[in-house]
Amino acid sequence: MEVVSTSFVNENFGSNEHLEKFCRALPKLELHAHINGSITTKTMRELVERKKEQQPELLEFEIREPGPLSQINDFFELFHFIYKLSNDIPSVKYITRSVIKDFAEDGVKYLELRSTPRADEASGMSKRDYIEAVLEVIEELSSPEYIIVKLIVSIDRRHTLEMAMDTAKLAVEYRAKGVVGVDVCGDPSQGDFDTIKPALHYLNDHGIKLTIHMGELPRNVEEGLSMLSLNPGRVSHVTFLSDEQRQVLIDRKVPLEICMSSNVLCQTVKSYESHHLRDFLKRDHPCILCTDDRGVFGSPCSNEYAIAARTFNLNQSELYTLSHLGIQGIFADDGTKVALEKAMAEWKSINIQQ
């Protein structure tokens, strides 16, 4: 792909309005979206309204519109509040429903949502209940005409091996009901990846696909080869890599979940112009543009395409190719891949002049 840097208006589109309209209409795949990070401020406020009688302390928290964070740690603090909103089964369902609808309205046609199953003693919710609640909403809303949705179960890198094994076993058990993989996430400044590694070996043995948050901070470089030894189907971020790790990703053509806004707003990447997506695009390496946490960063999937288009001067065909390449990286079965190929080709024949 030809990658040219431009500071603002993309000359292929004439106006930003035209570019944004195209990016919304483009059929997109979203493969890296954390459910609790994707709750918009609007949904947060609705939940506070629903819960304020039982949890009046929620009113004390100032819900701010998304913007730059002073450091990645601020962002993990925010989840203390968000988890008070998603502490029972009806709230988990409410959130999942609104998150799916938000992605569908933004033109996402295939969505792999991810979430860390959580128990809540006060409401009596177990990790199993949490997964079932999310899967029930997915079952209710997912359809090829609207949006196809699958679930990735997350293991937090701060968890003990016992907790990670519990989650891994649930992922295997719920595979037939829509769980397509397991993610390793959580505060990259904490935890030791090798602690939870036996749970990931267990998932490898059971044929469950893995996606791993990799190289978010410089300290994560030393874990990279251990992560790659598990043969993940995809990895995300890859901001800090050793040369050897970069070469393994390239040689194996491991699809990358790229989260530009997340990286720039968390200040792990200095600017869009210096984003490492540039190097991978030049190699035509499969990269999928993802939101990570739309509720925190305020950037819908269509906006990630608009940012990439402005930053690298991409035209309609190149944006389509970028979205289309993502099909290689999805965790759903081959039938779903074929259906997506067909739907995207049809859209292209109508909407993009050769």
With CB under 5 A as the contact rule, which of the stretches 69-77, 123-131, 273-281, 288-296 interacts with Zn ion? 288-296
CB of 261 to ligand IMP, least distance (A): 11
- Contact positions with ligand IMP (CB under 6 A) in 31-50: 34-37
Of 31, 92, 147, 185, the one binding ligand IMP (CB under 6 A) is 185
Helices (H), the chain: 16-25, 41-51, 72-85, 89-105, 127-141, 161-173, 193-205, 224-228, 243-252, 260-265, 277-282, 294-297, 301-312, 316-325, 334-351
Q: Which of 112, 216, 223, 304 is catalytic?
A: 216
Residue 304's closest CA among 290, 323, 315? 290
Token digits of residue 97 = 């429903």
Q: Which is nearer to Zn ion, 109 or 114 (CB)?
A: 114
Separation of alpha carbons 120 and 87, rounded Å: 6
CB of 114 to ligand IMP, least distance (A): 6
Please count the other Cβ atoms lying within 10 Å of the Cβ belonging to residue 53.
7
**Interface with Zn ion, residue 166, by CB under 5 A:** no
CB of 121 to ligand IMP, least distance (A): 17
Q: Which is nearer to Zn ion, 223 or 292 (CB)?
A: 292
**Contact partner at residue 323 from Zn ion, ligand IMP, none, CB < 5 to 8 Å by partner kind:** none
Report how far apart, in Å, the C-alpha atoms of 78 and of each of 4, 81, 229 are. 36, 6, 33
Task: Report which residue's Cβ sits closest to Zn ion.
Answer: 292
Q: Which is nearer to ligand IMP, 69 or 319 (CB)?
A: 69
Of 129, 156, 292, 318, the one binding Zn ion (CB under 5 A) is 292
Separation of alpha carbons 155 and 97, rounded Å: 22
Q: Which is nearer to ligand IMP, 28 or 34 (CB)?
A: 34
CB of 236 to Zn ion, least distance (A): 6
Separation of alpha carbons 172 and 68, rounded Å: 37
Separation of alpha carbons 104 and 30, rounded Å: 10
Residue 185's closest CA among 165, 148, 149, 211? 211
Of 102, 129, 156, 223, the one binding ligand IMP (CB under 6 A) is 156
With CB under 6 A as the contact rule, which of the stretches 102-110, 169-177, 184-192, 337-345 interacts with ligand IMP? 184-192
Compose the 188-227 pattern: x for residues touching Zn ion by CB under 5 A, - for all others: ----------------------------------------
Separation of alpha carbons 189 and 101, rounded Å: 32
Separation of alpha carbons 115 and 288, rounded Å: 19
Q: Measure the CA dihedral 226/227/228/231, to 10°.
A: 120
* 162 is annotated as an active-site residue: no
Q: Which residues bind ligand IMP (CB under 6 A)?
A: 34-37, 79, 115-116, 154, 156, 185-186, 188, 213, 216, 262, 292-293
> Active-site positions?
216
